[in-house]
Structures are given as structure tokens and as C-alpha cells.
Amino acid sequence: MPHLPGHVGPIRDARQVTDRARDFEDLGAYRLDDDDLAALLATQTECTFSWSARDGWSTAVTMRYLWRDERVWMTATRRRSRVAAVERDPRVSIVVTSAGTSLRPMLSVTMKGIARVHDRGSCPPWFADAWADHHPYVSASREERAEYLRMLDSPGRVVIEVRPVRWFTYDGAKMAAATGGAMRVPSQ
């Protein structure tokens, strides 16, 4: 299990969970277990990436990501405004949910992190192959995969690395269990 900085694990005492089910004011008892968090980050391929624009507005976009070496890795072209924004202010947030995955529903994590932009020459050597391996839309055909990797290696391509500094997690099944039936976990 990787070390996840800033992640406060679940409250293990079932009585605490039951006591908190009187209302929905404090969701602290419904955190993800470390194994569920690791599975979520490894399984999902999309996140919501949020940064601060020059005018101070929070801005976000859905992006593909890869979880590796206790970091989130994404790619974009340098001409995207998010690249200049995170170079100006590297404080970002990322949201990942279990929606659309084989994992059970109602799992989510919000990560506060520090972003670093890698230009083409400073990208980790493993990135392109790992990126292609992780994403379901890259063809298994050797020739088509090679073409995808060639296209990915464009002059303006950058890799955004995000180092987590704080985690906020949620496990809806724990909350549903604590409500005594008032809330149900949807089936996949």
C-alpha cells in the first residue's frame, strides 16, 4: 500500500459510525479504507482537474490520468491555459470517483496537490508507454499503438505531475450502512 500523505484513514469503531448517522452534518466516519483508495486511484482513468485561473476563478476540466509513484500524471499541450495557470500557481485539486468503473459505486476522493509541468525533454522516460497501457481507448494493435505514441510525442506536449498533499475521501456504502436503510447503495 503506498503512503498517501494527508490521508486520514477510516474511523474503525462501528459505534462511532452509528452515532454519526443521526444526520449528514459530519461525513468524517465515511472515509475510504486505504485499500479502497488505492484501488480507486489505480482503476479509474478519468479525473476532474481544477486550478486557479489568472482572474482567481476556479476552473476545472475532465482529464485522463495515470496514478504512478504516488503521483497523478496527466498530459496536455502547452497551449492549454491550464499549463500556464499551474506554472503560475501550482496548487491544484483533483477529484476521482468510481463512476464508470468496475468498482462499487459511491467511492470518491478529492486531492489537494502541487503540480509540476514537464516539457517534452524532461518527461519521465516511462510515461508514454505507461500512459498507453493504462487507457482503454488505445488500440491493442502494435501498429496502431505505435501511431498513437508517435502522435502523443508532439512538440508542444507536456506532462503534468501532481504530488498529493491532502486527501478527502468518501465511501457512500459506509454512510448507507449507518443510516439503517434510509439510504441505499445503487447497484452497478
Structural domain range at position 65: 45-166
For residue 76, tell me if it sits in a domain.
yes
For residue 49, tell me if it sits in a domain.
yes
Of the candidates 17, 1, 5, which has an alpha carbon nearest to the alpha carbon of residue 111?
A: 5
For residue 3, tell me if it sits in a domain.
no
- What whole-number percentage of the chain has pLDDT above 90? 56
For residue 103, tell me if it sits in a domain.
yes
pLDDT (mean) for 124-148: 86
Question: CATH no. for residue 85?
Answer: 2.30.110.10
Number of domains in the chain: 1
- Mean pLDDT of all residues in the chain? 85
Residue 52 has pLDDT above 90, yes or no: yes
For residue 180, tell me if it sits in a domain.
no
